[in-house]
Amino acid sequence: MKHKFEYINSELKKIRKHNLYRKMYDSKITDAYISINSKTLINLCSNDYLGIIQPKISNKQNQSSSRLVSGNDNSFRILEEKLAKHKSQESSLIFPTGYMANLGVISTLVGKNDLVLSDKLNHASLIEACKLSNAKLSIFKHNDMNDLTHKIKTKARRKFIITEGIFSMDGDFSNLDVISEISKKNNAIIILDDAHGDFVVGIDGKGTANYFGVSKKIDVHISSLSKGLGSFGGYVSSRKNIIELCINKSKSFIYTSALPRILINDATKRFESNREKNRKKLWKNIKKFSDGLKKIGLNVKSDAQIFPILIGKEKTAIEFGEYLFKNGIFAKAVRYPTVSRNNARIRISITARLTNEHITKSLDVLENAKRKFNLI
């Protein structure tokens, strides 16, 4: 008789065979650097896009329980009011993470006999949320508005269009201006995950919807406090009655402990900081890096702070990442199932913490890597 856990080893063996095995390393982040195994590298994997300096905060309340029991205090309300105004919405609700916000909000609003139209390259949390909803799921080709227009004609009780603002693996923008028009013609509800656009694009970093001038046309804004803001948590901004429904039905909000007040205060102080100064520095760095990639012959298509260097095979992407590591650059290989098979890449994220010297050094190493791995 086989041991009851033998299938675990078989599964791990299969993962290793296909060059998809992952493991964690102890690391320490200091400004624009990351230290791993006593080696200090330039960090090109950080999602702390604005690089806001850690604010000084005091912990006046310890963790307690769910916000619906004894885990709520006025610090949440203060930040939620600011976030609602930030998104030009009536109300907001903070979740422990962005992933939990996507799961909780979508499973609350979407149900059986509904139609969900989801972009092919949407984040895993959006995909899992759609599955939880039990709605009919229709995947439209990435940023293909003709395909969306065709598939939205399917009859359903309610229709939802779900998309990211800036796509996490490709760094391209969703066509929110066109999507908002398609939504209007078909009486569909738009749910936008703007984790990578929030605090980065738009007036005062108000996000991708603001960038396209369609903030009021987006029905539900879901975002992260952990990326552009560099703090921790996720949130949703929308109509007051939608937030009320999430408070009463969202399982990932109800059945979990509230974030500690120290993290809410941290996010609030970061929100109130001079974010625009950091944002301008970020976009200066983005332009310098983008121009540099073109000069060394790496034609990377990106509209924002995320730069995918397409490699192809998983094994080659791992070797490319190892070469960067040996030469002082930390940029990890992204493989299946995060991206499709044989579409592995090195995902580089630019932050405001990087100096001109960091960018120049990174480009020099990338140019050498390009030659070594014969990238076109």
Does the pLDDT value for residue 60 go beyond 80?
A: no
pLDDT digits 0-9 by tens, 202-238:
999 999 999 999 999 999 999 999 999 999 999 999 9
Q: Please, what is the average pLDDT of the chain?
A: 95
- Written as six digits, the tokens of 196 are 């990578």
User: At the topology level of CATH, where does 74-272 sit?
Assistant: Aspartate Aminotransferase; domain 2 (3.40.640)
Buried (b) or exposed (e) across 312-324, using 16+ Cβ within 10 A?
A: eebebbbbbbebb
CATH no. for 10-43+275-372: 3.90.1150.10
pLDDT digits 0-9 by tens, 344-353:
999 999 999 9
Does the pLDDT value for residue 263 go beyond 70?
A: yes
- Written as six digits, the tokens of 276 are 């625009």
pLDDT of residue 61: 65
pLDDT digits 0-9 by tens, 274-326:
999 999 999 999 999 999 999 999 989 898 999 999 999 999 999 999 999 99
Neighbours of 235 (CB within 10 A): 24
pLDDT of residue 62: 67
Is the fold of 10-43+275-372 the same as that of 74-272? Answer: no
pLDDT digits 0-9 by tens, 6-44:
999 999 999 999 999 999 989 999 999 999 999 999 999
CA dist 92 and 128 (Å) reads 22
CA-CA distances (angstroms) from residue 360 to 47, 292, 371?
20, 8, 17
pLDDT of residue 59: 72
pLDDT digits 0-9 by tens, 150-205:
999 999 999 999 999 999 999 999 999 999 999 999 999 999 999 999 999 999 99
Q: Which of the 8 DSSP states describes residue 101? A: H
Beta bridge partners of 54: none
Q: Report domain extents, the chain.
A: 10-43+275-372, 74-272
pLDDT of residue 139: 97
In the sheet with 91-95, reading across from the earlier edge strand, the strands are 91-95, 234-238, 220-224, 189-193, 159-164, 115-119, 136-140
Rg from Cα positions in the chain:
21
Do residues 270 and 337 touch, judged by C-beta distance below 8 A? no
3-state class of 17 per DSSP? helix
CA-CA distances (angstroms) from residue 322 to 27, 99, 170, 329, 335?
16, 29, 21, 9, 14
CA dist 188 and 115 (Å) reads 9
Torsion of CA 210, 216, 217, 221, to 10 degrees: 70
Does the pLDDT value for residue 75 go beyond 70?
A: yes
pLDDT class for 64, splitting at 50, 70, 90? Answer: confident
pLDDT class for 57, splitting at 50, 70, 90? Answer: confident
Residues 6+ apart with CB under 8 A from 23: none
- Written as six digits, the tokens of 16 are 């290793």
Neighbours of 197 (CB within 10 A): 29
pLDDT class for 2, splitting at 50, 70, 90? Answer: confident
pLDDT of residue 161: 98
pLDDT of residue 318: 96
Length of the chain: 376
Among the residues of the chain, which ranges form H helices? 6-17, 74-86, 98-109, 124-133, 145-151, 176-186, 208-211, 240-249, 251-254, 261-272, 275-295, 314-326, 356-372
CA dist 348 and 134 (Å) reads 35
